[in-house]
Structure 1
């Protein structure tokens, strides 16, 4: 396949290939799976607390690339002198209300007002675990450029972000974060919507971030499709791929990859190091909270993939393989 711009049918965006997105037709099977599930989906032993040493941000990373994993898909990426925040979610729950819905396993390691100066905020799509209203409202009026997918800017404007600081991107579109740093939106296999209605009326995407020294891939949410091979051929190789490994399930195989297909995507992208994201933060599926990372470790060995797994909240330079094993002490043994 090639990397065409997104297509629509009426008001609905379409995936690059036919995709089942676990709609109402799967409600009963999914409900049964949740009712009968006995996996440790929420940690029995509390995680954290984690604390970011913000003084580290006073000094640029020696090698030019440093990552602070806030949790899930929220990362502070320091790349070639610029700072980019991805899919920031600081709220306690990934939900449309504050009193119910998936709750964080651990608090963010730093407050929003402790973040260093940002050059860009990157938003992949409009789901609650990626687009958090209260977090976005914190940035309103701060003159920080936002880069996001088609249609998502409407939410940002509603929540107070100046439209002059919003750039919406179609698949294949590029924008400059700086004169020597290019952001490119590329296809993903997922869906969108913040409720039962208006599903798929905004776009979802992954992003290539290319600076003068480093080239990295932020995968956000996607099921496997052969477009990863095309992205690797056109935009790779990548120094680091950030790919989702959690929230997979037998009733929605098309929209989340899980560790096996995420590791396949890394190989297709021609990645050097793979960083797992979208795990260990919210209960969004029926697997044990630690299952994705432990399965990935096994696939990494089998497929000869070098992994980069930093501790939550710890600014960590990307210089080679790393396994912090931060979750091991919180696994329940009974």
Structure 2
């Protein structure tokens, strides 16, 4: 498959992207040590953990109000200013290159695909299968033909699978007008990207800052914490932030995951660093990618908030189908 070919920059060496303030992905040897080494403690998830909620969104949300509907894992429907925006949409049964193997859903999407309103914009943060789902993107292209905004190189993955996907690729710090006074800026995040064994970091990864009439929304789809500088830089460049969507799951074992995935304690620190007035948690409870229990992230988030003396209502973990409006 064709991969990105562009000028060398401070985060692209001509072949691979890298984060000068981050950490490289774990080696294959470390992956095997985690998967097959002695002493692994993998909590078993229930086969099904259905959410008691299901959302039927309105056709449009006009004006300065923003409506957030949690689809599950890292997928959201954000409605504002008459625009319908999906983030990292995954409606497939598995987050995997295979239909018969790989992490399987433990609950249904919080919005049935048939209940979606007309989708105008899709934001795809990076190429991992729990974020870039080609089957869902193809279905969206066929039904709605939305613009798909994604970091450099992921557009090639999409178009090589389905030329109908209207993918537009951008670099870190690029600002994209979405219409009706809404814009998005792609910002660095502490992560990496791959679709297979031989394309590590050949496409870029990013978080998003959405500009809305209700304020700026910081959408972090996947990130480690590091020393927090990624979050402080967003605060400096884009603050004040009205709301942040922050990942809290897929973090055990810490020796393996800490560089690329935050745990709830890290996420609470990230909220302090970015300075958002409010936060919503995601990246938990739908696909078992790592070793913690299904309810561990939400429980640990409450504990971390209490320890940091942050009101629990400031940083909430939703279940699929739940809605928040600002």
Fold-level similarity (TM above 0.5): yes
Q: Is the 8 A contact 1:245 1:257 kept in 2?
A: yes
Question: How far is 1:50 from its partner?
Answer: 4.7
Number of residue pairs the alignment of both structures matches: 310
Report the CA distance between 1:79 and its aligned residue.
2.7
Pairwise mapping of residues 59-78 of structure 1 onto structure 2 (< 5 A)?
Answer: 60=61, 64-78=65-79
Residues of 1 paired with 2:186 and 2:174: CA distance? 6
2:31 paired residue number: 27
Aligned runs of 1:41-60 on 2, under 5 Å? Answer: 41-43=44-46, 46-48=48-50, 50=52, 52-54=54-56, 56-58=57-59, 60=61
Q: What does residue 235 of structure 2 align with?
A: 232
Map of 1:165-314 to 2, 5 A cutoff? 165-225=166-226, 226-248=229-251, 249-250=253-254, 251-303=256-308, 304-305=310-311, 306-314=314-322
SS in 2 for 1:155: helix
Q: For the Cα contact (< 8 Å) 1:104–1:282, is it kept in 2?
A: yes
State the secondary structure of the residue aligned to 1:96: coil
Write out per-residue CA displacement over residues 17-47 of structure 1, whole angstroms, 9 at most, x where no aligned residue: 24142221313431245x6444534126x32
Where does residue 331 of structure 1 map in the other structure?
A: none
Q: TM-score, normalised by structure 1?
A: 0.86
Instruction: Identify the match of residue 13 of structure 2 among 2, 5, 9.
Output: 9
Supply the distance in 2 between the matched residues of 1:158 and 1:204 (Cα, whole angstroms).
Answer: 19
Among candidates 148, 151, 154, match of residue 150 of structure 2: 148
Contact 2:70 2:319 in 1 (8 A): yes
How far 1:286 moved relative to its partner?
A: 1.0
Task: Assess if the C-alpha contact under 8 Å between 2:209 and 2:218 holds in 1.
Answer: yes
| 1:86-120 superposed Cα distances (whole Å, 9 cap, x missing partner) | 00111111111011111111112333232011220
- Residue 115 of structure 1 is matched in structure 2 by 116
Contact map agreement 1:279 1:289 (CA 8 A) in 2? yes
Residue pair 1:63, 1:317 contacting (<8 A) in 2 also: no
**Number of the residue aligned with 1:327:** none
Query: CA separation in 2, counterparts of 1:221 and 1:310?
Result: 17
Please give the alpha-carbon distance, in whole angstroms, between the structure 1 residues aligned to 2:63 and 2:148. 27
Q: Is the 8 A contact 1:64 1:81 kept in 2?
A: no
Secondary structure of 2:257 counterpart: coil
Normalising by structure 2, what TM-score? 0.88
Distance change in 2, residues 1:53/1:16 (3 Å)? same
CA contact (8 A) 2:64 2:212 kept: no
Which residue among 142, 158, 161 is the counterpart of 2:160? 158
Instruction: Indicate if the aligned counterparts of 2:71 and 2:321 stay in contact, CA closer than 8 A.
Output: yes
Between 90-99 and 233-242, the greater mean CA deviation after superposition:
233-242
CA distance in 1, matches of 2:21, 2:32: 25
Deviations 1:172-217 (A, max 9, x none): 0010111411100000111111110011000000000011222101
Task: Mark the runs of 5 or more structure 2 residues left unpaired by the alignment.
Answer: 1-8
